[in-house]
Amino acid sequence: MKDKVLVVGGGGREHAIVAALLRSDAYVYAVMKNKNPGIARAAKDFKLARETDVDKVVDFAVSKGVELAIIGPESPLEVGLSDALRGKGIGCVGPSRSAARLETSKSYARELLQRHGVPGNLGFRSFDNAEDAKNHLAGIGYEVAVKPVGLTGGKGVKVQGEHLRTIAEVEGYIDEIFEKNIGGAGVVLEEKAEGEEFTMQAFCDGKSVVPMPLVQDHKRAYDGDVGPNTGGMGSYTDSDHLLPFVQKDERDIAEAILGKVISSMAKEGTPYQGVIYGQFMLTKEGPKVIEFNARFGDPEAMNVLTILDSDLTDIAWRISEGTLSKGKIDFLRKATVCKYVVPEGYGTVPRAGLPIQVDERAITDLGAASYYAAVDEVDGRVLTSTSRSVGVVGVADTIDDAERMCESALKYVKGEALFVRHDIGTKQLVDRRVVHMDSIRRGTR
Ligand code: AMP
Ligand code: GLY
């Protein structure tokens, strides 16, 4: 009997999860708010509904006899979908509402690190009013990242010296967060870390942590790392599962930090079962925590799941049953480059509702992969929305070759008013990261 697995979410990340589940011979059921054509086609059945509509998702899962669920995005975690599914005896890859605070509350995450002396924390303070935050700023002695406490879809953080040029702009943004109630729960002022960012994702069963290959995402909308922050424009991994600017001992520190977070949460009675995502800044002093997410990254999921060489259904069972340490999890020793095709204006004023075509067969024939994201299939046509449209992943022995494959594959995605960050994964950009990190290490920056 095949396992019946529910996937919640309709983006590129979830399409990649579904593709990995199909390789492991599961029956996939899906709940998503948009009709993602890749997921719709692969699923035995699907329901179009808001992923945060806990009752609808649970009813659908129960009616289909689903045994196991993988929750893609953070918003259903925040409203307790995993608790509700577990309440019906359905195993879940996705932390409880309480454990998901690691992502849903930036102050919870920082305070957890502080309480348990987990290395990699940054100076921070949370505020529930603008006046106190602005007063604190006056004597702080370092540049800050200004973060709404709650969820903002990855777009709420502004960094001094980058998005915020002057103290007046920093103060203005603090005011705006409170006036517009962005993130809904106050503001965190955090020490600005300088270096290169990398992502470490890991599977967790409440006790054990099994890390995946390191990934570097690109948040800025435009070539050369300029423009507004987005959910992520594309990402790459290397065949040794490190990154060209990250050394093995630095990676191991990140793994130790994730391990300590998971053991601290278990000690506090909030065991964490799901995928943990650590966003790190590699600084002169080593990796520092920028944030945690309580799920796979998007686009990062597309990189790692494309080269997952173990059975995802089996991994999901082991996460939900607390038996992750029984058995290995392997990823191919390949490099990947993922670039997102997005609507023009994504990050500011996107042009939505236009048709897009993907020649999936031609892309597969190249050895690459494509994943539909926030598109909607209507009357046989695939239409863009205001968010990211299609992720394309090249896979090869080197980042350089994977980048070239990704570019060849991108030619098979056609449509009007589309945009891609073509610099992601290019030798030029990767080399720049290495040079930047070397100068940070030497303290010449
Ligand atoms: P987040 O949503 O927390 O991942 O923040 C979005 C982006 O803002 C990150 O990917 C970083 O580039 C930047 N950022 C966040 N926090 C800091 C920090 N403490 N120091 C420097 N940059 C930061
Ligand atoms: N790529 C960043 C995220 O998934 O939040």
Say what the pLDDT of residue 107 is.
Answer: 85
Q: What DSSP designation does 155 have?
A: -
Q: What DSSP designation does 397 have?
A: S
Give the residues of the chain that fall short of pLDDT 50. none
CATH 3.30.470.20 domain range(s) in the chain:
196-429
Say what the pLDDT of residue 443 is.
Answer: 85
Chain-centre distance for alpha carbon 29: 22
Residue 301 and residue 199 in contact, taking contact as beta carbons nearer than 8 Å = no
Nearest-angstrom CA–CA distance, 206 and 362: 41
Ligand 1 midpoint to CA 151 (Å):
14
Question: What is the amino acid identity at position 352?
Answer: A
- CATH class of the domain defined by 4-94: alpha beta
Residue nearest to atom 2 of ligand 2 (CA): 297
End-to-end CA distance of the chain: 59
Which residues sit with their C-beta closer than 6 Å to ligand 2?
154, 217, 231-232, 293, 297-298, 300
Let me know if domain 196-429 sits in CATH 1.20.1260.10: no
Q: Could you tell which of 157, 292, 300 is best to mutate to test the pocket of ligand 1, judged by most ligand atoms within 8 Å of the CB?
A: 157
Q: Which residues contact 89 (CB under 8 A, 6 or more apart)?
A: none
Query: Which residues lie across from 279 on neighbouring strands?
Result: 199, 291
- CATH class of the domain defined by 123-191: alpha beta
CATH 3.40.50.20 domain range(s) in the chain:
4-94
Say what the pLDDT of residue 445 is.
Answer: 55
The DSSP line for 39-103 is HHHH-SEEEES-TT-HHHHHHHHHHTT--EEEE-SSHHHHTTHHHHHHHTT-EEES--TTTTHHH
Ligand having the closest approach to the CA of 277? 2
Ligand having the closest approach to the CA of 232? 2
Work out which ligand 2 atom sits closest to the CA atom of 301. Answer: 4
Residue 40 and residue 377 in contact, taking contact as beta carbons nearer than 8 Å = yes
Verify whether ligand 1 is closer than 6 Å to residue 190 (CB atom). yes
Of 427, 414, 202, the residue nearest 293 (C-alpha) = 202
CATH 3.30.1490.20 domain range(s) in the chain:
123-191
Verify whether ligand 1 is closer than 6 Å to residue 199 (CB atom). no
Nearest-angstrom CA–CA distance, 54 and 76: 7
